[in-house]
Amino acid sequence: MYHFFVEPDQIEEERITILGEDVNHIGNVLRMKPGEKVLISAEGEMDRLCGIEEIRRDEVICRILEVRKENNELPARIHLYQGLPKSDKMELIIQKAVELGAYRIVPVLTKNTVVKLDAKKAESKVKRWNAIALAAAKQSKRSVIPEVAPVISFGQALEEVKGFDLKLIPYENADGMAKTRELLGKAAPGQDIAVFIGPEGGFDPGEIEKAQDAGTEPVTLGKRILRTETAGLCILSALMMQLDDC
């Protein structure tokens, strides 16, 4: 079943109107017909199972068949602060982070970041990354579209998470797995959780020290050294397992 997102003001008591690029996608790419069912989500709203009533030139009218009482979101908001990696690795990280339930993804410039982005290039990248997040949200039947925020510095990231409930940073010199399990066990519904992942060269020791001073807890991801595109997905998976049945 195809999945689409709308704004809350497009939802009426019995019908939903789909607008924008999805209209062409439904009619000319997917070649859907009246009577076919779709899943529709909106920020702050329950998911709705709908049947297409009419496909017009600039809108698709859908009748609401069922309002689903539960959505597909984790009960806590996980913010992934990802050190900017080289090449197109960020696209893979975003896609998989959305599938695993990340609420928000923030690209971060660190001391060991190799990628250099000017303002114009950064804006273009963020637009592209948000399009990837949207596609991943549709594919994984998310109830919200996770935001990919503008690129910020590591210092700005630490400032941003001051009031968060749980802050984790994978680090090769962290205490053993028992401590990591204990920290992961603190993840609970309603929390804002920050996960910091370094770029290819990892975090500078000074950055780890600053993170700890700001209340961020170092955790281990095991005895093996993980690539930057693997580390975040590893800890997101562990948090998903901890939170999904809460």
Give residue 122's pLDDT. Answer: 87
Instruction: DSSP for 226-243, please give it.
Output: PPHHHHHHHHHHHHHHHH
Handedness of CA 24, 28, 32, 38 (dihedral sign): negative
- State the pLDDT at residue 225: 86
Domains of the chain: 2-67 (2.40.240.20), 77-243 (3.40.1280.10)
Q: What is the distance between the alpha carbons of residues 23 and 56, in angstroms, rounded to a whole number? A: 8
From CA 35, how far away is CA 216, in angstroms rounded?
A: 51
Q: What is the pLDDT along the chain (246 residues), one digit of tens a residue?
A: 999 999 999 999 999 999 999 999 999 999 999 999 999 999 889 999 999 999 999 999 999 999 998 888 999 999 999 999 998 999 999 999 999 999 999 999 999 998 888 878 889 999 999 999 999 999 999 999 999 999 999 999 999 999 999 999 998 877 889 999 999 999 999 999 999 999 998 999 999 999 999 999 999 998 888 999 999 999 999 999 999 876
CA distance 33 to 52: 7
| Four-point Cα dihedral 101, 237, 77, 114, nearest 10 | -90
- Tell me, rounded to whole angstroms, the distance of Cα 157 from its chain centroid: 16
Helix (H), strand (E) counts: the chain: 7, 12
Instruction: Look at the alpha carbons of 235, 237, 241, 243 in this order and tell me if their dihedral is positive or negative.
Output: positive
What pLDDT is stored for residue 120 in this prediction?
85
pTM confidence score? 0.90
pLDDT tens digits along 165-208? 999 999 887 788 999 999 999 999 999 999 999 999 899 999 99
